[in-house]
Amino acid sequence: MTYRAPIDDILLSLNHGAGLQAAVAAGHLGDYDSEITAQVLEEAGKFAGDILAPLNRVGDKHGIELKHNKVTTAPGWPDAYQRWVAAGWNAVSGPEEFGGQGLPAALNAVCTELWASSNMAFGLCPLLTLSAIDALHTHGSDELKTIYLGKLVSGEWTGTMQLTEPQAGSDVGALRTRAERAADGTYKIFGSKIFITYGDHDMTDNIVHFVLARLPDAPAGTKGISLFLVPKFLVNADGTLGARNDIFPSGVEHKLGIHASPTCTMQMGDQGGAIGYLIGEENRGMQCMFTMMNHARLGVGLEGVGIADRAYQQALAYAQERKQGRAIGSTGTGSDPIIKHPDVKRMLLTMRALTGAARTICYATAVALDIAARSSDPKVRAAATARAALLTPIAKAFSTDIGTEVASLGVQIHGGMGFIEETGAAQHYRDARIAPIYEGTNGIQAIDLVTRKLGANSGESVWALLGELDGIIKDVEASNDPAFGATGPRLRDALDALTRTSKYLLEKLGSSTNDALAGATPYLRLFGATLGGCSLAAEALAARNLDGVAEPARYVTLARFFAENVAVQAGALERNVVDAATGLQGADAVLTA
C-alpha cells in the first residue's frame, strides 16, 4: 500500500495535455518560472508518499472521535498536519501578500491530486481551507483579511464551508440558519448545519468557519443568503486567541468512507449566538459561495483522479505479484502473475486510461484559471474564464465518476482479497464514492454544464474548445503513425457526436429545457470521453517529439486504448442524449412503489 507519485505522467499531462507549457510560452502566466515545476512536484510527491500515505489506513481504521464537544483525529494526524504546514504545502498557491508562494493553480491542482491519492481523508481538510481562502481573499474586508488570511494561507488555521442543512442540500436556498445584526457591526448566528467536513478537529488551535445564514429581513430563496466568517475562537486585536465562540460540533456521521475526515453536525447559538463577521455584502452570500464552490469542485474532481491513480497503483502491484494459473503461450514452468492474463491487462489499461484522461481535464481547468488570473490580455483572460467555467463541471463529474469505476476495477483485480479490508483496495472503493456526491452531485454538474456553461455566449466557449480537439485529431491523422491504430477515426466519431449533441441541446434549451435536462448526464460523459481521449492523444503526440521521455510509444498505446475502448461509447452516449426525453415518457407508471 505504498504510494509513488507518477511524476512523469503528471508532467506530460500538465505541460502538454493541459497546455501549461504553451501558456507559459505565450506569456499568459506572467512571471511564472516554469523551470521549478518539476522540482516542486517531486517534493510534493515525496511528502505524499512518505508522510501522508502511511497514515491512510490508520485513519480509515481508527476514524475520529467526538467527546465533550471536541473531535479527536486519528493517531499521527495532528503531527502530520503540523509537518504539512511547516513544509509550506498549504501555501503553494496562496496570495503572496499574505505569505503564500503565489504558484499557479495548476501546480496546486497537481498537489491536490497527490494529497488525495496518498490520503484522501487528510487532503480534504486543506482543500476546504483553500476554498475559504478564495472567498475571503476575493470578498472579505481588509480588516478580516489582516486577522485571518495569513493564518489560513499558512494552514495554521483551517477553514470550513457550512451550507448544508437537513432540508437544504442541493437546494441551498432552503436554508434556515439565521443571523441577527448586533450593535457593534457583528452578527449573531443561530441554527445548525450538517455534513460539515472537518467542522471540528484537534490539528490546529483555531478553525475559521464560513457559514451561510439568513437575515431576518432577507428575501426568500438564494437571494436572501449572506456569508459569515465565524471563528471557533475569537481573535484578540493582538492576534492571540480569545473566547470560545458559540459554534460546536454536536454529532459526527458514521460514513461509508473517508473515516478519518470528521463530518460534523454544527450547533450555533445555544449560548447566546455565535459571533459572525459578514463577508461581502448582506444577501450576496451565494456569490461568495460560488467562489468557494468552483474551487472546491475542481478539487473534488482531483480527488477522483487521485483515488483512481492510487487504486491503479495498488491493483498493478497486486497483478504483478499474484500468481494464478498459466497464461496462454506462457513459457514459464509454474503459475503466471495474473497480469499476464488478457482480461486483467484490459482492466488495468482501462484504469490507467480513464485516470489519465480525467487528470488532464482537471489540470486543463486549473491552467485556464491561471490564465484567467494572470494574463495581461483582457481578451485572453475572458476566454480563459469561460474555459474554466465550462470545464469545471466536467472536471468534477467525469473525474469522480471514473474514480468510483476505477476503484471498483481495482477491487475486482484483487479477487477475493479485494473484499478483505486489510488489503486496502476496498478502502479506495469506499472513499471514492463520496466524490460524485459532494460539492454538487454529478447530476447537478451535468445540469450546470448544459444550462449555464453550454448556453453561455450561444455556445462560443464550446465551439472554441471543440475546434482545438479537431486540431488534435488532425495531428494524429497527419502523424501517419500506425501505432495509433484507429485513434483518429474513433476520436473523430466522438467529436462529431459531441458536436451534434451540443447543437441539439442548445436548440432544446430554447424550447424545452426538461428535454435537455434529461440528456445532461450522458452529454457530460460524452464530453469527458471526447475531451479526455483527445487529451491523451495530444500527450502521445508530444511524447513522440520530446527529448527525455522514457518509452514514448507507451503514451501512444494508452491514447489508442482509450480511443478504441472508451471513446467508442460516443455513439451510444449520443443516442442517450437525444432519446433521453422520449425515454422518460411514461416513466411515472413504471416508477411506482
Active-site annotation, residues: 439
Scanning 130-138, 231-239, 534-542, 582-590 for contacts with a copy of itself by CB under 8 A, the matching segment is 582-590
The piece of 45-53, 83-91, 499-507, 574-582 that touches a copy of itself (CB under 8 A) is: 574-582
Which residue in this structure is represented by grid cell 415518457? 585
Interaction residues for a copy of itself, span 316-355 (CB under 8 A): 316-317, 319-320, 323-325, 328-329, 335, 339, 341-349, 352
| Helix pair angle (520-545, 487-511), 10° resolution | 150
In terms of DSSP bridges, do strands 233-235 and 241-244 run parallel, antiparallel, or are they unpaired? antiparallel
Q: Which of 443, 464, 481, 509 binds a copy of itself (CB under 8 A)?
A: 443
Find all residues with CB under 8 Å of 189, minimum gap 6, and list them.
177, 178, 179, 211, 213, 228, 230, 247, 268, 269, 273, 274, 275, 276
Q: Which is nearer to a copy of itself, 167 or 240 (CB)?
A: 167
The one segment of 201-209, 365-373, 421-429, 466-474 that binds a copy of itself by CB under 8 A = 421-429
Interaction of residue 175 with a copy of itself, rule CB under 8 A: no
Q: Which is nearer to a copy of itself, 235 or 486 (CB)?
A: 486
With beta carbons less than 8 A apart as the criterion, state whether 10 and 41 touch. yes
HEC string of 437-482 equals CCCCCHHHHHHHHHHHHHCHHHHHHHHHHHHHHHHHHHHHHHHCCH
Total number of residues that touch a copy of itself (CB under 8 A): 99
φ and ψ of 158, to 5 deg = -110, 165
CB 562 within 8 Å of CB 501 = no
Nearer to a copy of itself, 246 or 448 (CB): 448
Whether residue 394 contacts residue 402, with contact meaning beta carbons closer than 8 Å, is answered with: no
CA distance linking residue 205 with residue 196, whole number of Å:
18
DSSP one-letter code for 387: H
- Give the C-alpha separation, 100 to 91, whole Å: 5
Q: Is the dihedral of CA 493, 498, 500, 501 positive or negative?
A: positive
Shortest distance, CB of residue 508 to a copy of itself, whole angstroms? 12
Residue 204 or 399 with smaller CB distance to a copy of itself: 399
Segment lying near a copy of itself (by CB under 8 A), choices 108-116, 291-299, 500-508, 567-575: 567-575
CB 436, min distance to a copy of itself, A: 6
Under the binding rule (CB under 8 A), the answer on residue 585 touching a copy of itself is yes
509-514 long-range contacts, Cβ below 8 Å, gap at least 24? 509/450, 509/451, 509/454, 509/455, 512/581, 513/451, 514/581
Minimum distance of a copy of itself from residue 212's CB (angstroms): 16
| Subset of 193-222 contacting a copy of itself (CB under 8 A) | 194-195
Looking at the Cβ atoms of 84 and 523, the one nearer to a copy of itself is 523
Using the rule CB under 8 A, which residue among 295, 433, 508, 525 binds a copy of itself? 433
Assess 96 for contact with a copy of itself (CB under 8 A). no
Residues 535-554, one symbol each (x = binds a copy of itself by CB under 8 A, - = not), give ----------------x-xx
* Contact status: 586 vs a copy of itself (CB under 8 A): yes
62 binds a copy of itself (CB under 8 A): no
In whole angstroms, what is the distance from residue 590 CA to residue 486 CA? 41
Q: Which is nearer to a copy of itself, 250 or 385 (CB)?
A: 250
**From candidates 520, 538, 541, 543, binder to a copy of itself by CB under 8 A:** 520
Residues in the chain: 593
Site residues (CB under 8 A) for a copy of itself, limited to 399-418? 404, 408, 411-412, 415-416, 418
Q: What is the DSSP string of 285-301?
A: HHHHHHHHHHHHHHHHH
Strand bridging mode 187-197 / 207-213: unpaired
Determine the Cα angle at 577 with ends 563 and 430, to 5°: 65
**Least distance to a copy of itself from the beta carbon of 463, Å?**
25
Q: How far is the CB of 588 from a copy of itself (least distance, A)?
A: 8
Contacts of 47 (CB under 8 A, 6+ apart): 84, 87, 89, 114
Options 83, 255, 284, 544; binder of a copy of itself; rule CB under 8 A: 255
Nearer to a copy of itself, 148 or 484 (CB): 484
Residue type, 338: I
When binding is defined by CB under 8 A, the residue of 119, 355, 521, 535 that contacts a copy of itself is 521
Residue 467 CB, shortest distance to a copy of itself, in Å, is 25
Which of residues 26, 182, 256, 478 is near a copy of itself by CB under 8 A? Answer: 256
Q: Shortest approach of a copy of itself to residue 101 CB, angstroms? A: 31
Under 8 Å CB-to-CB from 265, ≥6 apart: which residues? Answer: 192, 193, 194, 196, 199, 249, 250, 251, 252, 253
In the window 229-248, what residues touch a copy of itself (CB under 8 A)?
none
Nearest approach, Cβ of residue 46 and a copy of itself (Å): 17
Region from 33-41, 199-207, 296-304, 424-432 binding a copy of itself, contact rule CB under 8 A: 424-432
Interacting residues with a copy of itself between 473 and 492 (CB under 8 A): 483, 485-486
Nearer to a copy of itself, 191 or 519 (CB): 519
| Closest distance of CB 215 from a copy of itself, Å | 22
b/e 110-142 (16+ beta carbons within 10 angstroms → b): bbbbbbbbbbbbbbbbbbbbbbbbbbbbebbee
